[in-house]
């Protein structure tokens, strides 16, 4: 479907407005690196939180969520745990506060507070920079593939998906590189408003167009069940036969085992803390530790309802109106195309333009945040530190422009080689982030862990995650997580034990500033001997309880709009009751106890 003139005008006006914002804010952003990458740490926490939520509302991820909801129904609510989406709960409960207390610009610079400035610390810095760059390139290629597949359905010109992706990338890169963090955050506020309005409108349209009887006629038994057994038990035979092959290809047949692997990998990845991307950048941009915690908390609160109204709405429209066509066709169907096909067929003129502008906004949010975050590691931690420590702020900002453009070029090149959104998504979240876990869990919680252990742990995990697709191309990346974890753990422990511990002064300073819980008893004793009034962090039990409550709270926020759109009102009331109860508990046991 080619867009109507009104839709194209709405999209064009939107694109012009965000470029104008980027250039308008460029003076403020170009004052210094702190302003360019962190907005001068003056942006209100709720603005950063909404911006972060907008950055997670990406078009490629939304295409994947719609395809998952179409195939797996309510059980698709669990699938974002592969990322894991509940890392936001760990961040809001305690990790954002720990991270923000460092008062640094990047994750690599944060390592100074943990490992000091010796040779090992330099190696650990390099390891984080390498990871940040590789993950950024992976995200850019992931976004490139998704936006191209999306755009080719709608726009009227006879261009390939990759050509459309190049055009949209060029527009987005222009305003991000020019405006820095200020541009990213304030355009994301606009984007979030557009996306929320459009998403809720799509949910309402679906509710009006799809009756419960019509939906029940095109779904298999168990599609509306949130909970599951050892096996998926979702048989599409006679409904849409090709979906059974999709489930087999995804590797989700043994759903109970898959769920346990998601939970195991997700908890460890969440304890490790945020990877060096836009999420970490938002935390470091807050004014203080308390605001960092609140910023992470608001992300889940504002993101899930509108996003899943749209996901559920587009899924049921596609099921009812496209399902019979897919079943009767002998062609292999690309389930990642469900979202654009549903919009093109079921969303009216005008709203189509607004929704596509919103989805372009969602894409731009994630892409823009990635392009803003990654250059900080190269410019601040490599170029400034080793090549031009006395350079002017203008030189550093110009170098940030160059690095941003180079990263985009490499990511686009990789995007040309990728055929599936799901493949790159699984590799980033299942394999790459799996190799990150071991060293980053230990850095928070074990006093003896040192910079050499961090370097060897990061590099062994990273090399294992990059080798995985080459050695075992058919393996589901999530199922490889135990091996990646083991590789990182072996590298971390060997690297730590064959080298001396960090200096006591460095460890004591870190422990006093960050106040982590974990295996810190020797350092804790030295700190108390020096400062008897020091308040030891004894909140582990409370934090663990709040995390469990927070995960239940978060899943209730996900299923609530899905139940609403598919008109399952009794489960919706139950989800609402769970959401209200868990919100009350978190208010009393987390929010009210945040430290100033």
Q: Which two tokens stand for residue 150?
A: 């999306």
Start-end of H helices in 155-277: 161-209, 212-216, 242-250, 255-272
The pLDDT tens digits for 290-349 are 999 999 999 888 889 998 999 999 999 989 988 888 777 766 677 767 877 777 777 777
Among candidates 193, 298, 213, 269, which has minimal Cα distance to 554? Answer: 298
Contact indicator for 426, 262 with CB cutoff of 8 Å = no
Query: Taking 60 as the threshold, does the pLDDT of residue 190 lie above it?
Result: yes
Could you give the CA distance from residue 97 to residue 82 in angstroms, rounded to a whole number? 24
Start-end of H helices in 336-450: 338-346, 351-378, 393-417, 421-426, 433-445
Among candidates 541, 548, 540, 546, which has minimal Cα distance to 517? Answer: 540
- Give the max Cα distance, the chain: 76
Q: Which two tokens stand for residue 94?
A: 């305690």
Could you give the CA distance from residue 234 to residue 73 in angstroms, rounded to a whole number? 10
What is the total residue count of the chain?
596
The pLDDT tens digits for 411-468 are 777 777 766 555 555 555 555 666 778 999 999 999 999 999 999 998 898 888 777 7
Please calculate the CA angle 54-78-131 and round it to the nearest 5 degrees.
Answer: 60
Q: Which CATH number applies to 5-386+395-419?
A: 1.20.1730.10
Could you give the CA distance from residue 64 to residue 340 in angstroms, rounded to a whole number? 11
Contacts of 257 (CB under 8 A, 6+ apart): 230
Which residue do the tokens 């807050």 mark? 286
The pLDDT tens digits for 38-65 are 444 667 888 888 877 776 666 777 888 9
Contact indicator for 125, 386 with CB cutoff of 8 Å = no
Q: Give the lowest-confidence range in 176-180, 239-243, 245-249, 533-537.
A: 176-180
Helix (H, G, I), strand (E, B) or coil at 116: coil
DSSP letter for 501, please.
P
Other Cβ atoms less than 10 A from the Cβ of 203: the count is 24
Phi and psi of 446, rounded to 5°? Answer: -130, 115
Instruction: Provide the residue ranges of all domains of the chain, joining segments of one domain with +.
Output: 5-386+395-419, 420-502
State the burial class of residue 422 (Cβ atoms within 10 Å of its Cβ: 0-12, 13-18, 19+).
middle
């Amino acid at each position: 479907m080619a867009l109507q003139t009104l839709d194209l005008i709405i999209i064009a006006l939107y694109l012009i407005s965000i470029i104008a914002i980027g250039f308008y804010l460029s003076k403020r952003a170009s004052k210094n690196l702190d302003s360019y990458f962190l907005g001068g740490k003056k942006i209100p926490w709720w603005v950063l939180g909404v911006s972060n939520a907008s950055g997670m509302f990406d078009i490629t991820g939304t295409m994947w969520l719609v395809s998952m909801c179409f195939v797996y129904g309510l059980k698709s609510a669990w699938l974002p745990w592969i990322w894991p989406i509940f890392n936001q709960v760990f961040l809001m409960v305690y990790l954002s506060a720990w991270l923000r207390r460092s008062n640094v610009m990047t994750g690599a610079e944060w390592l100074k507070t943990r490992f000091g400035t010796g040779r090992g610390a330099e190696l650990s810095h390099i390891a984080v920079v390498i990871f940040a760059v590789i993950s950024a390139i992976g995200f850019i290629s992931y976004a490139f593939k998704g936006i191209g597949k999306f755009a080719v359905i709608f726009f009227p010109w006879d261009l390939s998906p990759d050509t459309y992706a190049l055009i949209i990338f060029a527009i987005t890169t222009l305003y991000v590189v020019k405006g820095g963090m200020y541009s990213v955050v304030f355009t994301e506020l606009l984007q979030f408003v557009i996306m929320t309005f459009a998403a809720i409108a799509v949910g309402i349209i679906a509710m009006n167009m799809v009756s419960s009887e019509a939906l029940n006629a095109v779904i298999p038994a168990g599609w509306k069940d949130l909970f599951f057994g050892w096996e998926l038990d979702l048989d599409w035979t006679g409904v849409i036969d090709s979906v059974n092959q999709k489930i087999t290809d995804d590797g989700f047949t043994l759903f109970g085992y898959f769920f346990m692997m998601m939970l195991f990998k997700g908890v460890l990845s969440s304890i490790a803390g945020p990877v060096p991307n836009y999420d970490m950048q938002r935390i470091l941009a807050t004014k203080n530790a308390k605001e960092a915690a609140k910023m992470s908390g608001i992300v889940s609160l504002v993101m899930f309802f509108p996003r899943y109204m749209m996901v559920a709405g587009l899924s049921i429209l596609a099921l009812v109106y496209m399902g019979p066509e897919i079943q009767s066709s002998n062609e292999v169907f690309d389930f990642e195309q469900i979202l654009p096909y549903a919009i093109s067929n079921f969303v009216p003129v005008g709203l189509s333009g607004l929704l596509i502008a919103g989805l372009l906004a969602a894409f731009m949010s994630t892409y823009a945040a990635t392009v803003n975050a990654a250059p900080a590691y190269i410019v601040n931690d490599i170029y400034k530190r080793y090549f031009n420590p006395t350079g002017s702020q203008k030189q550093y900002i110009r170098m940030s422009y160059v690095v941003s453009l180079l990263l985009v070029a490499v990511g686009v090149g990789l995007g040309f080689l990728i055929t599936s959104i799901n493949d790159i998504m699984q590799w980033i979240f299942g394999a790459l982030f799996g190799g990150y876990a071991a060293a980053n869990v230990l850095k928070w919680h074990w006093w003896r862990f040192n910079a050499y252990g961090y370097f060897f742990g990061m590099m062994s995990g990273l090399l294992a995650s990059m080798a995985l697709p080459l050695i075992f191309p058919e393996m589901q990346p999530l199922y490889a997580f135990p091996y990646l974890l083991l590789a990182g753990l072996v590298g971390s422990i060997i690297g730590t034990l064959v080298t001396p511990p960090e200096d006591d002064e460095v460890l004591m300073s870190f422990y006093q500033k960050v106040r982590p819980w974990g295996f810190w008893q020797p350092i804790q004793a030295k700190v108390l001997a020096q400062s008897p009034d020091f308040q030891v962090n004894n909140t582990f039990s409370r934090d663990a309880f709040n995390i469990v409550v927070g995960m239940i709270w978060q899943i209730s926020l996900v299923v609530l709009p899905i139940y609403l759109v598919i008109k399952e009102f009794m489960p919706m009331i139950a989800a609402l009751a769970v959401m209200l109860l868990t919100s009350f508990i978190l208010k009393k046991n987390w929010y009210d106890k945040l430290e100033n």
